[in-house]
């Protein structure tokens, strides 16, 4: 009966091979080399006065979406953003848009959206959802061509990115609401052994670090994301034995930079190292100037937070 699993076994084998180091010389994911969209922060405006940070909403409630992006081009280009909200299911690549239903369209990197009363699609966990689709274009204009499954960013040197995001619709208030995993602080440890006192990276007062000088090893520092104490929430889910159990969110953090090098894009507080420090090693560049760090935190249930920090390389 189990021959059908052969293919999964084969795919797992290929995946394991890629995990254990069969990568090629692609641009590293942590390097912000081109215009890039990192995600969208969603907050329930209606509930904000009493329940800040809620990322789910009931019909009739107003949600605020804020695009998290960075354009490393100097000077930064004009960003054009279009949002499409679809209450009906959408399959990418086959039907761009809302599958025939009339979408709600908004423009700008920060938009509001009021959840309609009915007619929702379902998300991967069968919850009612609204799909938000954004298309951002840096240095050009957005063009949608009939027959082309994706919109295009047209213009000399223009770069664009498509993003989908789902808003979970609450149909019952008995289930605990999900909140975004707030990033409380971002600190830098001089060196890689975290023995010296960390420096908090203040977005308003960038720290200074010396650049890498030829002939000497480049300095390496630890970056650490410190989530808020209540960032990891409990929820009902299924374990590997398919039993419904009380689970704690596994948070996923990303580090990206416009300068220097990082060890990895993602860090995940896995079951093997719960509550461990979320750190990445940053090697300073040899080129002086400002370096932008884009740091994100996600709970994979719709919660998203971000932090932009600047380090001045002298």
Residue with tokens 């419904």: 244
Among 63, 296, 305, 311, binds another protein (CB under 8 A): 296
* By CB under 8 A, residue 162 contacts another protein: yes
Measured from the CB atom, the residue of 35 and 189 that comes closer to another protein is 35
* By CB under 8 A, residue 27 contacts another protein: yes
Residue 125: both structure tokens together: 């966990």
Candidate ranges 3-11, 189-197, 211-219, 283-291; the one touching another protein (CB under 8 A): 3-11
* Smallest distance from another protein to CB 49, Å: 26
Nearest Cα neighbor of 158 from 66, 67, 78, 84 is 78
Q: Using omega within 30 degrees of 0 as the cis cutoff, is the peptide bond preceding 75 cis?
A: yes
* By CB under 8 A, residue 28 contacts another protein: yes
Measured from the CB atom, the residue of 189 and 304 that comes closer to another protein is 304
Measured from the CB atom, the residue of 61 and 306 that comes closer to another protein is 306
Candidate ranges 26-34, 112-120, 185-193, 196-204; the one touching another protein (CB under 8 A): 26-34
Among 63, 85, 98, 165, binds another protein (CB under 8 A): 165
* Smallest distance from another protein to CB 236, Å: 10
Measured from the CB atom, the residue of 129 and 313 that comes closer to another protein is 129
Interaction with another protein in 77-106: which residues (CB under 8 A)? 89, 91-94
Residue with tokens 């190292």: 273
Interaction with another protein in 122-161: which residues (CB under 8 A)? 122, 124-126, 149-150, 161
Interaction with another protein in 234-293: which residues (CB under 8 A)? 238-244, 250, 252, 254, 263-268, 270-273
Size of residue set near another protein by CB under 8 A: 74
Among 7, 74, 156, 197, binds another protein (CB under 8 A): 7
Residue 296: both structure tokens together: 């994100």
* Smallest distance from another protein to CB 47, Å: 20
């Amino acid at each position: 009966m189990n021959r059908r699993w052969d293919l999964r076994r084969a795919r797992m084998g290929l995946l394991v091979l890629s995990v254990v180091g069969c990568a090629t010389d692609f641009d590293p994911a942590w390097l912000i080399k081109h215009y890039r969209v990192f995600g969208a922060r969603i907050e329930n405006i209606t509930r904000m006065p009493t329940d800040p940070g809620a990322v789910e909403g009931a019909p009739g409630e107003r949600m605020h979406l804020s695009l998290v992006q960075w354009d490393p081009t100097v000077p930064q280009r004009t960003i054009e953003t279009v949002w499409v909200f679809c209450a009906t299911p959408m399959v990418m690549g086959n039907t761009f848009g809302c599958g025939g239903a009339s979408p709600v369209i908004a423009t700008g990197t920060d938009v509001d959206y009021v959840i309609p009363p009915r007619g929702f699609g379902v998300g991967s966990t069968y919850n009612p959802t609204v799909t938000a689709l954004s298309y951002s274009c840096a240095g050009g204009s957005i063009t949608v061509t009939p027959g082309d499954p994706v919109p295009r960013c047209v213009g000399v040197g223009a770069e664009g990115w498509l993003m989908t995001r789902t808003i979970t619709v609450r149909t019952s208030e008995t289930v605990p609401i999900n909140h975004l995993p707030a990033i409380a602080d971002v600190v830098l440890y001089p060196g890689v052994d975290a023995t010296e006192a960390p420096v908090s990276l203040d977005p308003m007062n960038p720290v200074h670090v010396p650049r890498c000088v030829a002939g000497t090893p480049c300095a390496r520092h630890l970056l650490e994301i410190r989530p808020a104490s209540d960032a990891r929430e409990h929820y009902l889910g299924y374990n590997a034995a398919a039993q419904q159990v009380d689970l704690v969110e596994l948070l996923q953090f990303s580090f990206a930079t416009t300068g220097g090098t990082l060890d990895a894009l993602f860090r995940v507080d896995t079951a093997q190292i719960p509550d461990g420090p979320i750190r990445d090693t940053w090697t300073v560049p040899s080129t002086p100037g400002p370096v932008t760090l884009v740091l994100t935190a996600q709970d994979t249930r719709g919660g998203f937070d971000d932090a932009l920090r600047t380090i001045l390389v002298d």
